[in-house]
Amino acid sequence: MKETRIQARSGWEWIDWRELWQARDLVVLLVRRDLVTKYAQTMLGPLWFALQPLGLAIVLSVAINGAAGVSTEGVPPFLFNLCSLAPWFYFSQTFGSVGATFVNNADLFRKVYFPRSSFPLALALSNLVALTIQTGLFFIVLIIYHVGGAWASLSWRIILIPILFIELIIFTLGTGLCVASLTARYRDLVHAMQYVLLIVMFASLVFVPLSNLPSRLHWLMWFNPLAVIIESMRFLALGTGGVTAVQLSASIAISIGLFLTGLLAFERASRTAVDLA
């Protein structure tokens, strides 16, 4: 009779990648469950993936660009905002869900053992569906504007956007895992995350181009990879704005650093999270 012994590891150690790979079927089931339950018993279902950025893009175009007079560097405001919202929605939804991993799944974690990291991974993968739909929606609107003559710029650089999304996933998972490791002990952070996201939205230039900021504030880009990602997406898709190679390199380095730190912190917190729940 084969005996399987589960023993907690000590100290700061990496996630057991072999164990996570063996749990790949569980990850697939979690992704499917997240997609099914997110819009269960709704009339529109997955259409909400498209309606959310469309609605917010209209609001931002009217309130921020229209009433407040915020410039969009010559880009039609609706097109400008729709471009920015695809990566923002992925970050906000994934960051909040991953950050609350131990709080939302405490009862399940008490009952059965499985790689705790499978939950954040599943959340990151399931939200890729929304990111794909919202990015595709932006491409459709971009083509409509281009064919209609409202926006002439359409560059080959647009094919590089999926590469940019790799950094978005790494950065989002890294920040989410770091917060999750803290919420395992400090549950108040779960309630504070909605305010953190509001601050990050303004700090990430979601509806304001970098050129609108005073030059003395451009250094803030060095500490916010999400702002670099959003500004880079505008450059690739719309040909406006853009960041320097140094800023992009710093952004990638910070994203990777946060991801590695988050992995270590999450793995350490997972050993005591159930006891603290």
- The answer to the question of residue 205 being in a domain is yes
Q: Which residues contact 134 (CB under 8 A, 6 or more apart)?
A: 49, 50, 52, 53, 85, 86, 89, 90
- The answer to the question of residue 51 being in a domain is yes
What are 5-29's pLDDT values in tens digits? 555 555 445 667 787 778 788 888 8
What is the domain count for the chain? 1
**DSSP output for 23-53:** THHHHHHHHHHHHHHHTTT-SSGGGHHHHHH
- The answer to the question of residue 7 being in a domain is no
Q: What's the rounded Cα separation, in Å, for the pair 182 and 174?
A: 13
H helical segments located in 149-218: 161-183, 188-203
- The answer to the question of residue 12 being in a domain is no
Give residue 43's identity as a one-letter amino acid code.
Answer: M
- The answer to the question of residue 166 being in a domain is yes
Give the number of other Cβ atoms within 10 Å of residue 52's Cβ: 15
The rounded Cα 118 to chain-centroid distance in angstroms is: 17
- The answer to the question of residue 10 being in a domain is no
Domain assignment of residue 28, given as a range = 17-34+45-276
What are 218-242's pLDDT values in tens digits? 677 768 899 999 999 999 998 887 7
- The answer to the question of residue 247 being in a domain is yes
Q: Is 165 exposed, middle or buried (0-12, 13-18, 19+ CB in 10 A)?
A: buried
Q: Which residues of the chain have pLDDT under 70?
A: 1-15, 39-45, 216-218, 222, 273-277
- The answer to the question of residue 3 being in a domain is no
